[in-house]
Amino acid sequence: MQLLRGQSSIPVVVHVVWYSPEENISEQQIFSQLDALNRDFQAQNDLSIVPPGFRSLIASAGISFCLADMDPQGQPSNGILRRQTDIRQVASHRTGSQKTICYTELGGSDAWDPSRYLNIWVGSFGGLWVGEASPPESTPSNEDGIRIDPRYFGTTGTATPPYNLGHSLTHEIGHYLGLQHPWGAANDNKDCTQDDGIADTPLQSKSYFGECPASGFTCGTPDMTMNFMNWTDDACLAMFTPGQKKRMQEVLQGTRKGLISGDNRCMSTSTQAPAPIEANLQVFPNPGSGTFTLIRSNKSEAAHLYTATGQWMRSIPPHQNSFELTGAAPGLYILTCGNQQLKIIHLP
């Protein structure tokens, strides 16, 4: 994972509470999730799916995350706790009104001081739910944090499509830092009367659950279907807005300021390079100039080349393994093949 120096990092403790062995996810899967968070909250993820009309609203939230290097008692730690449980679907299990996964004595794992650490419990929801988050100032504090299913955590290991790019946790941390869905607090907002209280996210009445739309239109304006606070599939999520950044920073400087104040509780060494996401579409050299070599796993599908503003330039027929940008202006170009997209940097 990556430590971003010169910037306040939120120390994270990951509680892996597992019933079946595959729920006891690997360190590599945890690191892949931290890397995804650090990309998403700094606008370093793949932004090529953001349409031209919304590009000026892409904001880096300016937030980074690290695994805690010290427990609440000051003892060294790697920020990962593992607990075997005899409770199936422990993340959705309740003991009375308590969330079982948040208490060691009930078969879960006790929170580390939630005013100083972001607690993330990874446990099975049994397919009922992807994850859930505690909003700021939520009670009880023993349960303050995020619960997420191991199949929708990280980008490798047991991470499962369509939630295998780490964006589910990005979405839940958005809630944890004070954001609502673009369609407001209720899940049944069909009449465009409710809003998320953020001025630069368009009013929206649809959740896009289970969808990966090229575009969407409700309440009289185009929907920001690729906003992280939608329920769109991971492949179609990409951005926060300046208004959302402002809200999250206010929470981080206010209610949740203990996360970023005081002594540094971050892992100070790089542990492992992130696992590469399996690429079905590759171009090299990239950045490059002149002739580019193209590799696509689906050799019967044509690829299409676009300018950075989405203007179609030309198609590259199936089985053609190279293309030229000679004569085209230096800068960013987009190559698509099926539902895959790739950014190409054309050098002078």
Examine the residue annotation and report whether 211 is marked as an active-site residue of this protein: no
E strands present in 134-211 = 146-148
Instruction: Determine the Cα–Cα distance for residues 42 and 346; give it in Å rounded to an integer.
Output: 24
Nearest to 289 by CA among 320, 330, 317: 330
**If residue 81 lies in a helix (H) or strand (E), which one and from where to where?**
strand 80-84
Instruction: Determine the Cα–Cα distance for residues 316 and 105; give it in Å rounded to an integer.
Output: 60
Nearest to 12 by CA among 106, 153, 129: 153
Q: Which of these is catalytic: 22, 105, 172, 250?
A: 172
Q: What is the DSSP string of 254-283?
A: TTTGGGTSSS--B--S---PPPPPPPSEEE
Alpha carbon distances (Å) from 103 to 18, 75, 87, 133: 14, 21, 12, 16
Let me know the angle formed at the C-alpha of 162 by 46 and 125, rounded to the nearest 5 degrees: 125
> Which residues are known catalytic residues?
172
